Amino acid sequence: MATFAVTSNEKLYLAPGVLVRKLVGTGGATSLAYTHGEDRVPTLALARVGTEGAACSAVGVVDTSATVVTLDTLVDSASIVEVYLIWLTSATGGLNPPA
């Protein structure tokens, strides 16, 4: 039984008040508490299975905190998974650019 594994964490978009990160990884039977790299909770998290015809039918972001997101899949599968984390924080003055 494998653990969910993140293989890349890419900043897709950064503008005042908006940040989008794309996490790519592989599913597993055990969830993963992953440090996403920002200092606040994402406003929105979208997840999908990126492997066509994969045995893994669902992926979810089951918990978030200021610095950690917990990722999990429905079944033990090494399917490619994509998770998009979106921060919409213009009301608080925007985000600092990631390092």
pLDDT per position as a tens digit, 14-60: 888 889 999 998 887 788 899 988 888 888 888 887 766 556 556 77
Q: pTM of this prediction?
A: 0.79
pLDDT at 95: 55
Q: How many residues does the chain have?
A: 99
Q: What percent of the chain has pLDDT over 90?
A: 19
**Mean pLDDT (the chain, rounded):** 79
Contact 40, 69 (CB under 8 A): no
Burial bucket for residue 4 (CB in 10 Å: 0-12, 13-18, 19+): buried
Tell me which DSSP letter residue 3 carries.
B
Calpha distance 77→2 (Å, rounded): 8
Average pLDDT over residues 70-83: 80
